[in-house]
Every structure is written in C-alpha cells, then in structure tokens.
Amino acid sequence: MNAAGLSFLVPGLGHLLTRQTSGGVKSALLATLTWTLVVRTLPGGFSVPLLLCLAAALVVHAGAGLSARSGAHRGESAAATRRARADQRRWSTLSSAAVVLALLGLTVQWALSLPGWSEISRNLPFFLMGKLRSGEYDPLRWRLSGLLLPALGLLLAWALSRVRHMPVWPPALSVALGLVSGSAVLWPLLVPETVLGGFALSVVLTFLALTLAVPLGLLAGIMRVSTLPVIRLIATVYIDLFRAVPLIVWVFGAFLLLPYMLGTGTQFPSVVLALATFTGAYFAEIVRAGIQSLPQGQSEAARSLGLTGTQTMLRVVLPQALRRMVPPLLGQTITLFKDTSLVSIVGMAELAGTGRITANRLVSATFEIYLAISLLYFLVASALSVVADRLERAPGVPGRRRTL
C-alpha cells in the first residue's frame, strides 16, 4: 500500500503524507464525527442507527482513500489534475452526504422516541380546524369544502396556462373565481364569530389576504411607474409606509382601531385587511420591478403604433412582465402564509395559536407540539417552493435556470 492508500485505514493520513493538507483535514474531521456517532450508538446494540453510522463510516473511509489516491497523481498532466479534482469533489460530496444522512437518521429516531406524540395525535383535529372540531359545530363543518375551491381555481389556471397562445386573463379569472367562491362558502365560519381555527384558519387568512393583496399590489405597482408625479407619489408613500413598519404593528392597529369605525364583529376583516395591505406593498414592488425589467423599446414601439399609455400597459407590458413576476410573487405568498402566525397575538387561534393553547395545557409535551406545528408550516412552504421552482424553470420565463 502506497502512502496515499493509508487514508483507507486512517482518513486524512494519506492526504497529509502526499501533501494534500486541505483534503486531509476534511477527511479527518468527517471520520472523527462518524466514529463518534458509532461509539454513541454502540450501547443500544444492533440497531438501524448503528447500521447507518457504520455505513457512513465505511463511505468516509472509502472516499478518503480514493480521493487521496487520485490526488496523488495531480501535477502529472493537465488531464490527470482535472480528473483528480473531479474525483475529490465527488468523494467529498458522497462522504459529507453519508454523515448528514446518519445524523438525520439519529435525529428522526430521537424525535420519534419522545413520549408526547400520543398527545399530538389526540389534538390533531384541534391543530387542523380549531374549535370547529367540537360537536356543536357539526352543521357548519361542510363549509370546510370551501377550501377546495381556490385549489380548483389554481388547478384550472395551470391547465389553461398550458394551452398555447392562451391570453393572461382566463387563468387569472379562474384563480380569482376560486378565491371569491371559496371565501363566500367559508365566510359564515369567520364572521361575526371566528369558529374556524388551526391550520384551516391559516390557509383561509392567506387566501383572503391574497384576494385583496394581488389587485392592490398590481394597482400600486403600476402607479409606482406612472409618469404623473402625484400618482407616483401616492404609490411611493403607501409602499414605503407599509414596508417600513413591522406587520405586528399593523395587525395590532387594525384589530384595535378598525372595529371602532366598522362596528362590532369586524375584528376578522380588520386583520385580513392588515395582512392584505402589508403584503400588497411588497407585491407592488415586485410588479414595479417586473415592469421595469422589460426593455424600454417595448413601450416605445407600442406607442409608435398608436397605442395609448393604458393600452400599452395592458396589452404589451403587463402580459410579458407577469411571467417574470410569478416566481417572486409565490415567494412572497410563502412569507404571507408564515406571517399569519402573528394573528395569534390578537386572540385568533390559527395554527401557531392552537399550538400555543395546547402547549399551555400540556406542559409535558411542549416540544413535540411545537415540532408538529413547525412540520405543518414546513410542508406547506416546501410545496409552494416546489411550485415556484417549477414555474421559474418553465419555458418562457426570462432568467430561469437552465439545465444541461
């Protein structure tokens, strides 16, 4: 066995002997971490975590030896150097992935062994729909089907967008109809008394806020690029004001002040209005950036053909800019869904609020409760992130990532 091959036995040793200091340090650290995990899992006897750690250790030793052997040939020729660098990157990635998988497996096993999961399963209906789970609200429970209408609108919009030469307005109209019809079905669960709660309330708050924030942001974004100074100033003041003040302040202000002007039983619409106006300010900046990202020649060519400013914006600029706006708009929607957790501070039992209520009642399962709540947020945010990524990769979206 040559000097480089010693890394098969002691990861990093062969690297150091062949003057591959950086690779040697990385391999030694990975091996130390892996064998520490093996030693920690040995008292549990033969088990899946022990197998994961041993498999990770095997990958680390093999990767260290192979990368050291390949690196020893660097400098012999340009081709050998490129091949050595590629092999070192490959085995370094595989070794790191093996260690991460071992750590993840140990973490999952530890989380599943916690004693409070029985309480999670018992309180899951409360996490999903709040006090609507109670038997006294059985006649109203069918209205939860209103949550499906926005999803159907989005599905129809996606199907329409796949049709070639389809204008922008049919998909947009299907989304709007889904949001409005779903809101109409769910409204008796929200006003005057908000009996809906948990995850369902978080989704409803997101949908209702989007219904108002999208047209508001579109209008403010167009006003932001207007040639009229007064209109541009109004949009600028609105955007800067709502972006400069934290959302929690707007939620408090709307919840405490607007019911005095609108009457009792309007706390829920007030909170929705706060979420919508705050999100609309961010949507407006996305719209402004999308419009200004188009070449100036587009507008000039349209005006030279005799189109008015309104016709140029509606028929030339917006159809092209909207495709650029979709990924960041979805990203801001993910932020809006997470921001709905702030409404629990005004007494609304949405997803985070139901978790806080349950944790105050079951102190012994506090960690498990908040872990379950975090997983629900993570699943929704991840699903929306996948949709945003797919749209960013879709044909016709400028600036999308290209894969070979």
The pLDDT tens digits of the residues spanning 197-216 come to 889 899 889 888 988 998 99
The answer on 337 and 230 residing in a single domain is yes
**Ordered alpha helix ranges (H), 132-168:** 148-161
The answer to whether position 399 is within a domain reads: no
Q: Which of 75-79, 113-117, 139-143 has the lowest mean pLDDT?
A: 75-79
Q: 84 and 220, same structural domain?
A: no
- Residue 227 belongs to some domain of the structure: yes
pLDDT (tens digit per residue) in 330-362: 889 999 999 999 998 888 888 988 888 888 888
Give domain status of residue 264, yes or no.
yes
Is 403 within the bounds of a domain?
no
Residues 130 and 67 in one domain: no
Tell whether 219 and 243 lie within a shared domain: yes
Is 53 within the bounds of a domain? yes
Last residue of a domain, one of 112, 129, 164: 112
Residue numbers of the domain that contains 248: 121-393
Q: How far out from the chain centre does Cα 329 lie? A: 12
184 and 65 fall within a common domain? no
For residue 76, the tally of other CB atoms under 10 A from its CB is 11
Same structural domain for residues 129 and 108? no
* CA distance linking residue 398 with residue 314, whole number of Å: 19
Whether residue 277 sits in one domain with residue 182 = yes
Q: Is residue 194 part of a domain?
A: yes
Q: Which residue among 81, 112, 143 closes a domain? A: 112
Overall domain count for the chain: 2
Looking at the domain assignment, is residue 129 inside a domain? yes
Q: In this predicted model, what pLDDT tens digit does every residue of 153-183 receive, in sequence order? A: 878 887 887 777 777 678 878 877 887 888 7
Kindly state the tokens that stand for 188.
């008796």
Give the C-alpha separation, 326 to 172, whole Å. Answer: 12
